[in-house]
Each structure stands twice: as structure tokens, then as C-alpha cells.
Structure 1
Amino acid sequence: MSVEEIRRLTPGEEIFAGAHAYIGHAVLVAGRVDEDALAAAFDAVVRSYPVVGAALKPHPDGGHVLVTSETPPAISVVAGDPDDLLAGSVLDQGVRLGAVGLVRDGARASVTLSLHHSVADGAHGVALLAALWSRYADAVEGRPVVVEPHGYPLPAEQVLTARGVVKIPLDRLPRVVDCVPPAPPVEVAAGEDESEVDERGFLALRATRVLLTVEQTAGLVALARAEGVTVNSLVSAAILLAEAECRGCSLAHLLHVYAVNLRPMVSPPVGAAEATNLVGSAVYPPTTTSPTELVGLARAIRSELESQVAAGLPLQTPLHLGDAPEEGEPTTRLVVAATNFGRIPELPSTAGSVFEEYRVAMAGKPIPGGSRHAVSGTCVIHSFGGRLGVEVHHSAAMAGWERRRTGRVRAALVSAVR
């Protein structure tokens, strides 16, 4: 099979190629997982969405090129702890940008669809997760496994330009790039704040998770509707309050930076799998007069987001990636980051198996010359089966800190619906 060049990566995609970054969308399953059906489903996904089976190769002038892969799609199957979501998964951007790993232990298993971040953001990945399990159900139940050919997804820069989004001067955008990342918390001992790497060269990341009950999640939804806010703004408020409490600082020392899915913000709208990383950033800079209770802070966050969306600011993020930051005095606010994968669709069930939980896995390698200091990780928000989840991926040295921080997040959310 000969390798064909598809196109060069854009600056917004190249960021993730340097880090060999993958996002894994995992489902914990109680009961039997049919290996043959899973392999057939993954093969159909690759033939439907060819970017999953593509690869990256370095370009002589720098950067990377998206190319077809010489390696046919295959799933990995290992016996082990299903909580080790990426065990056995082949994550090599020079071989394939998508992978499926099955980890089983008796009657319990995890299945993880990993996608390279250069070609798929969270919304894109969730759509392909649904496609995988739909085809798996077809295979298990003896129906034809559907192949629906799609083209390669377009980069955000091309999608936005084609829809008339004009790049505006950098000095009109909220300043994010000059903000300093949080320093390691004081309880992380000196010399222990460096992230480890595993035998494959990937950062050895752990995950700390908060998972609300169905009743608690329904209570948050009801609270958001009653107060005229969103569940996402309530979670953002809880994350900010937890960070300030754990660090012993005021909200005004923080800057909340979070991802915004741009697909519904453009016309015509863009399908989840039609673009690689169609994500912008919004920011909320608390002040000394910002509310310090959950609902009030959530209302302020939502109001600021509405103002930024109305001004088209999140749409500018992909157009400025790779630009040099503006000159001026950098801010010393600490960045508190979050992203929201939204509601994970109901996955088709099959006889003899039950979906227990959705989880996210992160994989990436240290960037040469980049910092490997352990800092507060990005909070990933999602809901599955009527349960809200918040998870953070971090180094071993940060485990105690993240348990404290996510514990405060959970306490703030649960106390609001009691």
C-alpha cells in the first residue's frame, strides 16, 4: 500500500503533533465484549472516516503532513485492569491517528477509542465513539455493518474563512497567552513536581474523577433552569471557587480559560466530524467584586461568555494560533482551564453487556524544550447516562492536590442541590 500525502497541518493542528497528543474516549462495560464485532466496527469506522486510519509524517521544511497509512486498522486486546484505559493501545502518530483498545478482566472491560488531537477535538471524538458502538451493535446482532464514506475533516482556519470570519487584530482579544500557568501547590515537595514518562515516552498521567449521581445531576439541571444559568457555568464556578480555596487566594488572582465548540456558532453549521479542531477559547477574569457564591458566580461567567460570543471573540482563537503575543506587561493571573465534551449520546446496548461509565484518557509526550512542571490540569466536563462527570489528568506528584481540588468541586455542586 503506497503512502499518499493529503495536506500539511495548519498551525492549530500542529500544536498537538509536537506533543504526540491523543484523546481517548473510553466506556467501561460490564459483561461480554465481542472482539470480532469490535474489530469489524473499527474497520467500518476507518473506512467511513479515513482520517482515523491516516498518519503523520514530518515535513522537510518543518511541521507535519497528513498522509495515508500503510498499516491496516486493528484493535488491541489485553488482559488487565480495565481502569488502565490505554493498556495495549498503539498510539503512534507515524502509524495511525486512531486506535481502539480493549482491556478485559473477567466480566468487566474497558473499550477506548483514541484519536490524535491534531485531527479530532472532543466533539469530533464523541461523534466517532457513537459511530463505533452503533456499528458494533450491528455486527453483534448480525446486521450489515454500515460504511458511509466521509471526506477528510477540514482545519478550523479553512472552515472559518470559508464562512466569512475575518481575523481581527490581536490587541482586541482577551489576553490569554501571556498569563502564567499555576505554580505547583506548596504541598508538592521540591524536586517532586516533574512529570514522569512511561516506557513509550508518554507522560505518565493519572486521572482524578468526580461523578455525580443521576439525582444530583438532575438537581443541577433544575437549578440551572431556575436561575437562568447553564450547568456548564455552574461547574465553571465550582472549579474557580475550589481553585481559590485550595490555593488560599482571591478569585481576582485567577483567570478562567475554557473551550467553546464553534460548530453551532457559524453558518452554515458544521458537523462534528467535518472539522478537526473547531474550538475557540472564552475567558472569565474575576475581579475583587465578583460573586463568591456558586450561582452568582455562574451568572457572571455566563454573562461574560454571552458578551464574548456576541463580539465573535471565540471565533478568533483558531485564526491566531501561532501568532506572536502582543507586546506589553504580562498578567500574573493563574490560569484555570476547562473543556466540556457535552452530553455523550446514549450508546446502543447489546445482549449480555451494560455500559457503566464514560471516561476520558489523555496521552502525550513532553515537548522538547517545554516545561514538564506539574501544574493544575485542565478539567474535562461531560455527562453520560444522566450523570455529570468532571475529571483531571495529572502527574503522580499532583495526585493529592487534585484530590483536594476535585473534592471541593464536588462539594460545591452537591451542596447546591441538597
Structure 2
Amino acid sequence: MRRVLCPVENLYVAQRSRAVLSCALDGPVDSAALSAAFEAVTAEQPQLLTRIVPDGDGHALELLPEAQRPRLRTRTGGEEAYGEEFNTPLTVGGPLTRAVLVSDPDKERHIVVLSIDHVITDGHSGIALLNTLWDRYRELMGDTLAPRTPVAELPEPISTLLPQSDAAETAKYLEQRVENVGCHPVELVAYDVKATEDAPEEPHRIEVRRLLLDTEPTAGLRERARAEGVSVHALISAALLLAARRRMDGTDPRVLGCVSPVDLRSRLSPPVPATLMVAAVTMRLQTLPVGEDTDVLELAREVGDGMRDFLDRGDHFREMRIMPSVPRHPTLHLGTVIVTNMGAVSGPRLPEGLRLTDVRLTPAREHYFPQTGRSPIMACVTTFDGRLAIEFPHHTACFSRPFMRELGDEVQASLLALAKSD
């Protein structure tokens, strides 16, 4: 079983990005049953059993040899295991997924961490995989696991499912986009960690600053968004853009960029289910002048109106078609902030006696380029079971822990102020 990667998927190979999903649990976990559940879901999604191999000028997916296929790993540990897994890459040529069950010495508290290569996943399919894993576990624990026929073919890339288009129109759209980003270059936030020849006190690593709202302020933020006629995504994007602007010099408005991944699954005909493990996103770059005194609600309306216009024009399909040109024109998707949003989703359903205490989704990549001196700020937004979380992954050679802590605290204060009833 083998499939050549499309040009868009080949971009993800170079990026070395992945989705890291985790859930924290209290209660007994049968590791043998969870291992069997993982083998069941990988049999249903054969791309989880593949590796990336060279193919001409690009790459292809091919099945791993039986002995190299991913199996659930178990280990003893605590919360530190999340950071260790986050800093363990998925290498080209190896398995594209990794599943680890970490249990405390008493085997009463656990963390399950799934790492999935972005070549074969996006946020929606990653969440679906985590939930499906626990569905199979629950079935096994209840002796109700229904037999399923393994899938015989690897799914086609999303780029092959786009509506028909005219090549000349796509070329014109690319030309306009390149011209626009050239006329309105965005400014990036400078790293606060300076390069030094001295050895650091501790090795640099990827870390995650997390912002978490409880159910009441999350509901309040959603109510405020509805009352203002904007989306929660637009409110969060505006709050983050303002926080980024305050970390730049001067008082005049600066041109900032907000990059939002856009889900294509529900916008294709027929729709692509979230359970299918493919990358089904494109990008939306919006540039806006932002000053220190810009009103957060006015900025949110600009972000929201821009996104609606983008979708109404069908530009989400055009962006997918021009994505192979990004290596030649990297500023096409270069933003001051990158804000993903999975919307409101449910966490895993567990068998009786096992309690879910937390669920997380965070994107990770291997290359942060501290030598560039500045970069976008990444924010991954999820709302699991009524609690909104924003994950800020960063590399300690670029942004320091205090920098990201202050940034996260500022964004959280902005969102809590918006969530309060007037």
C-alpha cells in the first residue's frame, strides 16, 4: 500500500509539524485493553501505519514493516511526561503516530499522549482519533467490540477533492496575493531571548504556556460574542493581536497579520468526516493596522467580517490551490499571530470508574529558527466540554518563560473582561 503525497502534503513534510493530544485520567486503566484499542483504530486508519519515504522530487506514504508499526507504549511517571513527549519528534521515515500511557506508581493517575504527524492529520481528525481510541477501549472493557474490516486503501489528499477551477484564475489569484503581501508587509514580535555564545544553564526546549477558562467565563465569552455579532475566534484573535502590538515599540498603528487555519471538511461536497485522518485545512491571512489604543471589539469585528468575506468569495479553495507556491512566496501565510480554533467539542467518553480530568490539543514543530530574531506567536484554541483553553507553544531559545507567561496573562485578562456581563 503506497500513495504519493500531493504538493500541499509535501509542505508538511518539510515543516515537521504534528498534533499532540493528551488526556489526564483518574482511576484504573487496563493497559492491555488500551493497547488492543490502539491497534484496532490504526487498523481502521491505515495511514496511521505508514511512514514517509522519498518519491522523485517529493515523498510518498508507504506501510511500515510489521515490526516497526506503532504500538502503545507504557511507562511510569507524572505530569513531566507531557513535556517529554512534546519534545520527542516524529522523524521522517519512522512511524507517523505515537501513543504513550503514563501512569503514576500507584496506577491511579494517568496521562495518555498521542502524537500524530501533520501530514496525515489536522486538529479535527486528531480529536476524533483520541475519542475513537476511548470508544474502542470502552467497547473492549464491555466485551462489545464489533469486528471491523480493515481499510484497504489510503485516502486521497484533500487537494484532489476541491471543486473544479480554471488554471488562469488560480494564477491571477496568486499574483494578486503576492502583490498584496508585498504592499502590506506585516510586523513580527521580536524574541526576548538573545543569542549568546555562552552555554545556556539548561538545554533549550519546546514548552507550552496554557490559558484555561472555566465553564462560567467560557459561557460568558460566548454570550458576549453573540451579543456583539462576532465569533469567539474573532474576540480571541483581537485580544492576541493587541497583546502582540503592545510588545512592539512606538505608539502609531502597525500592520499586523492574523493567520487562521480554515477547516475544509464541512465545505467540501460531499463533506469529509472528522474521523478520516487527513490534513484538511487551508490558511487565511488578514492584515490589519493595530495601535496600542485600538478597541478590542472593533478589531474583532474587522477580523470576523474579513473571515466571512473570505469564505463567501470561495477564497478558502483558492488558498488551498496556491499553497504549493508558499515556498517561493513565504509571506503568503506569514502572520504576527497564528490562531487556530477547533470550536466547541466533546472529550472522550470513558467506562464507569474512570474519570477524565483534562484534555489538551497542542501543535508542535521541530524548527523554531531562533536566529531569525522574531516570529509569529502561535495560539491553539480548543473548548473541551465547555472549558476554553489556549495553548501557546514556544521554544525557550526564542521566547522566555516570563515573556510567554505575561503574554498569556494579558490575553486571559482581556477575555475575562469581555466575558463579564455589562
Place the TM-score, normalised by the shorter chain, in its bin. Answer: 0.7 to 0.9
Please point out which of 174, 188, 193 is paired with 1:182.
188
Contact 2:246 2:292 in 1 (8 A): no
CA displacement at 1:350 relative to structure 2:
1.8
Contact 1:101 1:113 in 2 (8 A): yes
Residue aligning to 2:29: 33
Contact 1:379 1:390 in 2 (8 A): yes
Residue aligning to 2:161: 159
What is the DSSP-based 3-state SS (H/G/I as helix, E as strand, rest coil) of the residue aligned with 2:78?
coil
Equivalent positions of 1:193-342 (< 5 A) are: 204-248=205-249, 252-274=254-276, 276-287=278-289, 292-323=294-325, 335-342=336-343
Equivalent positions of 1:92-111 (< 5 A) are: 92-105=91-104, 106=106, 107-111=108-112
CA displacement at 1:246 relative to structure 2:
2.8
What is the DSSP-based 3-state SS (H/G/I as helix, E as strand, rest coil) of the residue aligned with 2:148?
coil
Residue aligning to 1:69: 64
Q: Deviations over 1:58-98 (max 9, x none)?
A: 23x33221001112331111112234326467834423212
What is the DSSP-based 3-state SS (H/G/I as helix, E as strand, rest coil) of the residue aligned with 1:268?
coil
Q: Deviations over 1:28-79 (max 9, x none)?
A: 11222221111111111011111111111123x3322100111233111111
Contact 2:123 2:361 in 1 (8 A): no
Please point out which of 49, 62, 71 is paired with 1:53.
49
Q: TM-score, normalised on structure 1?
A: 0.86
Contact 2:253 2:291 in 1 (8 A): no
Contact 2:186 2:257 in 1 (8 A): no
What is the DSSP-based 3-state SS (H/G/I as helix, E as strand, rest coil) of the residue aligned with 1:347?
coil
Counterpart code for 1:126: I
| 308 and 196 in structure 1: CA distance in 2 versus 1, 3 angstrom threshold | farther
CA displacement at 1:132 relative to structure 2:
0.9
CA displacement at 1:270 relative to structure 2:
1.8
**Is 2:378 the counterpart of 1:381?**
no
What is the DSSP-based 3-state SS (H/G/I as helix, E as strand, rest coil) of the residue aligned with 1:57?
strand
| 182 and 100 in structure 1: CA distance in 2 versus 1, 3 angstrom threshold | same
CA displacement at 1:341 relative to structure 2:
2.5
Q: Considering fraction of residues, name the structure with more helix.
A: 2
- Counterparts of 1:180 and 1:27 in 2: how far apart (Å)? 36
Aligned residues: 402
CA displacement at 1:361 relative to structure 2:
4.2
CA displacement at 1:371 relative to structure 2:
5.9
Q: Deviations over 1:118-150 (max 9, x none)?
A: 111111211211211111111222222553644
Please point out which of 401, 404, 413 is paired with 1:402.
404
Query: Structure 2: any 5+ residue segments left out of the alignment?
Result: none
Residue aligning to 2:123: 122
Contact 1:123 1:272 in 2 (8 A): yes
- Counterparts of 1:67 and 1:217 in 2: how far apart (Å)? 43
- Counterparts of 1:73 and 1:37 in 2: how far apart (Å)? 16
Contact 2:159 2:320 in 1 (8 A): yes
Counterpart code for 1:292: T
Contact 2:8 2:323 in 1 (8 A): yes
- Counterparts of 2:10 and 2:393 in 1: how far apart (Å)? 22
| 285 and 57 in structure 1: CA distance in 2 versus 1, 3 angstrom threshold | same
Counterpart code for 2:206: L
Residue aligning to 2:176: 172
Contact 1:135 1:145 in 2 (8 A): no
% of aligned pairs identical?
28
What is the DSSP-based 3-state SS (H/G/I as helix, E as strand, rest coil) of the residue aligned with 1:25?
strand
CA displacement at 1:101 relative to structure 2:
0.9
CA displacement at 1:325 relative to structure 2:
7.5
What is the DSSP-based 3-state SS (H/G/I as helix, E as strand, rest coil) of the residue aligned with 1:247?
coil
CA displacement at 1:248 relative to structure 2:
4.4
Please point out which of 75, 79, 84 is paired with 1:82.
79
- Counterparts of 1:290 and 1:298 in 2: how far apart (Å)? 15
Counterpart code for 2:231: T
Query: Structure 1: any 5+ residue segments left out of the alignment?
Result: none
Contact 1:119 1:153 in 2 (8 A): no
Counterpart code for 2:79: P
Q: Deviations over 1:363-409 (max 9, x none)?
A: 44349x99675744311011112100101111124122211211111
Counterpart code for 1:247: M
Please point out which of 15, 21, 37 is paired with 2:11.
15
Residue aligning to 2:419: 417
What is the DSSP-based 3-state SS (H/G/I as helix, E as strand, rest coil) of the residue aligned with 2:325?
coil
